[in-house]
Amino acid sequence: MRKFSFFIVGVVALLIASCSSQKFHTTRVESIDFKQFKTYAWLPPIDSLSKDYFNNDIAKSKILTTANQELEARGLTYTKNDPELLFRYIAIVNNKSKEIYSNYSFGFGMGGPWGWYRPWGGYMGYSTSFPIGKERVRYGHIIIEAVDRQTNTVVWQARGTSQVNDPEDAINDIPKIISGIIKEYPIKIKK
């Protein structure tokens, strides 16, 4: 039974460790029926503070290739001639500080004739955590916006955020981030 408990704890720890640290947020104009849009094109990316993480040809290619695949799976067609929607992206990398916490445990045993061992008693104590410092963390944000060409207004926007530790990992994670962003688009994949 004890081995089974360790196995369950190990599986749960593995699942928690494999959870994605990526977050996605979206907003849109609620009164618009997005099914009316059939064609799209890309505007140039907006100059951003990407610290060269996403400001290179490989990153741009991964962003556009993944986004095009996801948009076409939702029934949109890329065209340079009179598109109904214009998409653009913004890439930002910023520094934030994150609290580092330490765990502190205090406890004592009780029981037995002198209180030093526990054949008849239990263990009493508590555990708490408190901040001991801060560490600098970089977060990468990719924002994709859809502009209605007739009204020249943004009708949909979604943002994907992930912690970035180095440029190579940030670039390699682009397809997952872009897929997660486009999943927030109001039209789901056509089957």
Beta strands 123-148; 85-109: pairing state: antiparallel
How far is it, in rounded angstroms, from Cα 19 to Cα 127?
26
How far is it, in rounded angstroms, from Cα 48 to Cα 35?
31
Q: Is 2 in a helix, a strand, or coil?
A: helix
Same domain, 119 and 54: no
Q: Is the pLDDT of residue 137 over 60?
A: yes
Same domain, 123 and 161: no
- The answer to whether 179 and 71 are in contact (CB under 8 A) is no
Same domain, 128 and 145: no
Same domain, 27 and 119: no
Report pTM.
0.69
Same domain, 151 and 86: yes
Q: Is 150 in a helix, a strand, or coil?
A: coil
Please check whether residue 16 lies inside any domain of the structure.
no
Same domain, 62 and 141: yes
Name the percent of the chain lying above pLDDT 70.
Answer: 69
Instruction: Identify the residue whose tokens are 């095009």.
Output: 68
Query: Strands (DSSP E) along the chain, which ranges?
Result: 23-28, 39-42, 77-78, 85-109, 123-148, 153-163
What residues form DSSP beta bridges with 82? Answer: none
pLDDT tens readout for residues 72-119? 999 999 999 999 999 999 988 887 777 777 766 555 555 545 545 545
Please check whether residue 163 lies inside any domain of the structure.
yes
Please check whether residue 191 lies inside any domain of the structure.
no
Cβ atoms within 10 Å of 182's Cβ, excluding its own = 23
Residue 18's H or E segment, with its range, is: helix 2-18
Please check whether residue 165 lies inside any domain of the structure.
yes
Please check whether residue 12 lies inside any domain of the structure.
no
Please check whether residue 10 lies inside any domain of the structure.
no
Lowest mean pLDDT among 21-25, 84-88, 183-187: 21-25
Residue type, 176: K
Same domain, 107 and 25: no
* Residue 33, burial from CB neighbour count under 10 angstroms (0-12, 13-18, 19+): exposed
Please check whether residue 9 lies inside any domain of the structure.
no
Average pLDDT value over all residues in the chain: 78
Mean pLDDT score, 61-67: 95
pLDDT band per the 50, 70, 90 thresholds, residue 185:
very high
Name the percent of the chain lying above pLDDT 90.
Answer: 41
Please check whether residue 148 lies inside any domain of the structure.
yes
pLDDT band per the 50, 70, 90 thresholds, residue 125:
low
Structural domain containing residue 81: 21-97+137-182
Same domain, 57 and 76: yes
CATH classification of the domain holding 36: 3.30.160.670
pLDDT band per the 50, 70, 90 thresholds, residue 147:
very high
Q: How many domains does the chain have?
A: 2
Same domain, 159 and 170: yes
Same domain, 104 and 93: no
